[in-house]
C-alpha cells in the first residue's frame, strides 16, 4: 500500500503505467524540476461541465468574493468582474458558479513529531468535513499524510466511508517524525493529481508550517499550484498558535517556528488564491472547515483566453477584481502559459 517517493526521473517514467493500474495507491513525487508521470486525475470519469467551456488555451481562474465582514458572496455574474493581465484590461470569456461544477479535494495532513498531539482532533473534524463536502458522485477527495515521506492514505474517491477508515490510520506508520516534506507534498499533489481536473478544486493543508526535508522549493511549489489552478487552504495547527511571536515568553526556537511556518503558509495561500486559518481559542478546526466549505460552495470559475503569441512557460500577472469596490476577490496572482 505504500512506497517511498521516487526521485529518479527514469524510474518514475517507467513506473507510471504500473501506478495507474494499481489504483494510484502511491504518490510519485520527484524533484520539482523533474518531468512528472501522467496525472492520475485523468483516470477518473467526471460529470460534464457545460457552463465553463474549456479549451487547451483557456486560463482558468478560481475566485472567492468576500464582503467587508469576510463572508463569501455567491450571487455575482460575469459582468460584475474586471480582469487585468500584466496590467492590461482583458475580457472574461467564460464563467460558472460553484454548484454547477464538480468538486475535487486533496487533504494533506502533517503527521511529523510536532503535530502528533493534534491527530485525533484532525481526523474527527476531517471526517465531518468529508461527509459535508462529498454530496454527489462527481465530488471526490483524497487523503495524504506528510512526514519524512509523502504517503497516499486514500486515492481519489467519492466515498466518505473509505476516507473515514483512512483517517483513523493517520500517523500509525510514521517513518521519521523529525522530517517534514511539506513542499514536496503540495508540489506532487498539484502536478500529479489535480492539474488536469476541471471545476472546483483545492488543497487543504493541515500543518504548523514546518518544512525541513523537501527537494522542491517554495517558489517551485507556488508555480506548480498556479499552473494547476489549485488554491491552497492552509490550516495552521500549532501549540504556539495565538502567541505573539515577538513575546519574551516564547523561546527562540518557538518564535522561529511561529514566524517561519506562518510566512510559508501565507505566501503559499496568497499566491494560489487560498486562505490561511489558525486553530486557536474561539476558532476550532470544525469552524475552520465550515468556513472553507462556504468558500468552495460559493466559488466562481472564470476563463480568459490569452493571445497566441505569448511565449510558452512565460509567467503573467493576474489581477481579478469586482466592480463593487466594497468587495474583495481571493484568486491566484498569476499563470504560466502552457508549453
Closest CA to 119 of 139, 143, 149, 141: 143
pLDDT interval class at 14 (50, 70, 90): very low
Quick one: pLDDT at residue 39? 36
Quick one: pLDDT at residue 319? 97
Q: What is the DSSP string of 243-310?
A: S-TT-TTS-HHHHHHHHHHHHHHHHHHHHHT-EEEE-BTTB-HHHHHHHHHHHHHS-EEEEE---TTS
pLDDT value at 289 more than 80: yes
Quick one: pLDDT at residue 114? 84
Quick one: pLDDT at residue 177? 75
Closest CA to 268 of 300, 212, 230: 230
- The rounded percent of the chain whose pLDDT value lies above 70 is 76
Q: Where are the domains of the chain?
A: 9-43+100-297, 59-97+300-336
pLDDT interval class at 339 (50, 70, 90): confident
Q: Which residue has the higher pLDDT, 154 or 99?
A: 154
pLDDT value at 48 more than 50: no
Nearest 5°: the CA angle 99, 105, 107 is 145
Q: Which residue has the cell 474517491?
A: 157
Quick one: pLDDT at residue 259? 53
Helix (H) or strand (E) segment spanning residue 17: helix 9-21
Count the alpha carbons within 13 Å of 171 in the hemisphere toward its beta carbon. 17
- How far is Cα of residue 210 from the mean position of the Cα atoms in its chain? 17
pLDDT tens per residue, range 132-151 = 999 999 999 999 999 999 99
Report how far residue 205's alpha carbon sits from residue 108's, in angstroms, rounded to the nearest whole number. 5
| pTM given for the model | 0.79
Quick one: pLDDT at residue 22? 39
Mutual angle of helices 119-133 and 160-167, in 10-degree steps: 180
Least confident span in 108-122, 151-165, 215-229, 255-269: 255-269
pLDDT value at 52 more than 50: no
Quote the mean pLDDT of the chain. Answer: 82
pLDDT interval class at 98 (50, 70, 90): confident
Nearest 5°: the CA angle 106, 273, 237 is 55
Quick one: pLDDT at residue 285? 96
Quick one: pLDDT at residue 46? 39
pLDDT tens per residue, range 229-283 = 999 999 999 876 655 444 444 444 444 445 568 999 999 999 999 999 999 988 9
The CATH fold assigned to 9-43+100-297 is Rossmann fold (3.40.50)
Report how far residue 153's alpha carbon sits from residue 142's, in angstroms, rounded to the nearest whole number. 8
Report how far residue 23's alpha carbon sits from residue 42's, in angstroms, rounded to the nearest whole number. 12
Amino acid at each position: 500500500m505504500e512506497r517511498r517517493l521516487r526521485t529518479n526521473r527514469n524510474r518514475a517514467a517507467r513506473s507510471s503505467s504500473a501506478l495507474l493500474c494499481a489504483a494510484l495507491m502511491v504518490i510519485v513525487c520527484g524533484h520539482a524540476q523533474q518531468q512528472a508521470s501522467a496525472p492520475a486525475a485523468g483516470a477518473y470519469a467526471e460529470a460534464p461541465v457545460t457552463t465553463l467551456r474549456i479549451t487547451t488555451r483557456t486560463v482558468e481562474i478560481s475566485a472567492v468574493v468576500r464582503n467587508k465582514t469576510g463572508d463569501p458572496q455567491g450571487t455575482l455574474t460575469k459582468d460584475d468582474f474586471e480582469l487585468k493581465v500584466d496590467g492590461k484590461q482583458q475580457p472574461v470569456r467564460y464563467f460558472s458558479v460553484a454548484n454547477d461544477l464538480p468538486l475535487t479535494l486533496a487533504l494533506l495532513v502533517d503527521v511529523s513529531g510536532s503535530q502528533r498531539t493534534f491527530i485525533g482532533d484532525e481526523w474527527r473534524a476531517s471526517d465531518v468535513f468529508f461527509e459535508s463536502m462529498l454530496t454527489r458522485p462527481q465530488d471526490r477527495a483524497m487523503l495524504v499524510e506528510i512526514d519524512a515521506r509523502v504517503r497516499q492514505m486514500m486515492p481519489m474517491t467519492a466515498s466518505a466511508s473509505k476516507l473515514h477508515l483512512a483517517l483513523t490510520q493517520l500517523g500509525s506508520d510514521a517513518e521519521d517524525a523529525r522530517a517534514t516534506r511539506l513542499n514536496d507534498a503540495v508540489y506532487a499533489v498539484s502536478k500529479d493529481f489535480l492539474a488536469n481536473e476541471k471545476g472546483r478544486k483545492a488543497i487543504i493543508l493541515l500543518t504548523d508550517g514546518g518544512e525541513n526535508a523537501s527537494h522542491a522549493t517554495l517558489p517551485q511549489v507556488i508555480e506548480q499550484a498556479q499552473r494547476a489552478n489549485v488554491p491552497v487552504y492552509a490550516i495552521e495547527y500549532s501549540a504556539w498558535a495565538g502567541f505573539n511571536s515577538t513575546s519574551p515568553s516564547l523561546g527562540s526556537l518557538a518564535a522561529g517556528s511561529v514566524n517561519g511556518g506562518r510566512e510559508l503558509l501565507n505566501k503559499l495561500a496568497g499566491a494560489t488564491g487560498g486562505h490561511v486559518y489558525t486553530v486557536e481559542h474561539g476558532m476550532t478546526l470544525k469552524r475552520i472547515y465550515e468556513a472553507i466549505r462556504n468558500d468552495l460552495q460559493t466559488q466562481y470559475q472564470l476563463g480568459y483566453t490569452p493571445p497566441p503569441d505569448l511565449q510558452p512557460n512565460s509567467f503573467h500577472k493576474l489581477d481579478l477584481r469586482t466592480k463593487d469596490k466594497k468587495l474583495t476577490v481571493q484568486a491566484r496572482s498569476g499563470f504560466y502559459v502552457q508549453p
